[in-house]
Amino acid sequence: MNECIIEKVNGLFKYIHPSDYRNALIEIANSFTQETDIEIYTDGSMKNIVTNEIMMGCAFVVNTFDDLNFLMIKNIERSKVNYKRKPDLYDKDWRCNFCKIEEETFDHFWKCSKIQNVVEDILKQLKIFLVKIIQEYSRDDINTQELKSKINELNMWDIGCLYDFTFLMKNQVSCQLIELLRCYKITEEKLLYKVLKQIIGRVLLEFKMLIWELRNELQIKEEKRCGISGKDKKAKSHSKH
């Protein structure tokens, strides 16, 4: 099959793919909450770029599910699930460790009023990184100011819009970013994939160092304040098996 297959998301993606790609797509499908009507574009032959990326409407899904970023998302979701699974340890009012107001979710981290300065710094550093990496790998002579302007115009900086920059941590890359890279002659499959992985890795590193690790420190302090020990958590987990 060489023709493009276009289908809607209906709980799961129904494609003829090798099992590893299919399982990865199922993981993505299960992670969707609001985006239940996304156009999916791929082909059955899994040719060229599709071996590394799955085209999804206005985004690419980069196949790096064994990397740390996928595990990071799982850890964030697991922390939320733990609160619900252990009501005797975490009451229903347990909230974000930063603001103590909203429920702790992946999306909330980027909107939390207490760490907006951190989020803004991550945005600033990512824009600087994009300039450097495009300059490094592009085959063009680059006007730096023009490049900075094009980067600033990307819709992905608008947190809350579909495929904003936080989707990078879920391996979902805005097609605007893909087109920007191609505009600067970063088009060869392996090179494009290499650059995308570095960009994704950068967002992950910034999040891990500036938000997630601090969150974990605050979590431990709050657990100690509430008398929750590591032994308590392990005992509760073991009781489930």
Q: Say what the pTM is.
A: 0.66
Instruction: Determine the pLDDT at residue 223.
Output: 87
DSSP count for the chain of H helices, then E strands: 9, 5
Per-residue pLDDT tens listing for the chain (241 residues)? 333 333 333 333 333 344 554 555 555 555 544 443 333 333 333 233 333 444 444 445 554 444 444 445 556 655 555 565 566 677 777 889 999 999 888 889 999 999 999 999 999 999 999 999 999 999 888 999 999 999 999 999 999 888 899 988 888 888 899 999 999 999 888 898 899 989 988 998 899 899 988 998 998 898 888 888 777 777 655 444 4
**What does the alpha-carbon distance between residue 152 and residue 136 come to, in Å, rounded to a whole number?**
19
Question: Nearest 10 degrees: CA dihedral of 210, 216, 221, 222?
Answer: 110
Q: The tokens 């579909």 sit on which residue?
A: 162
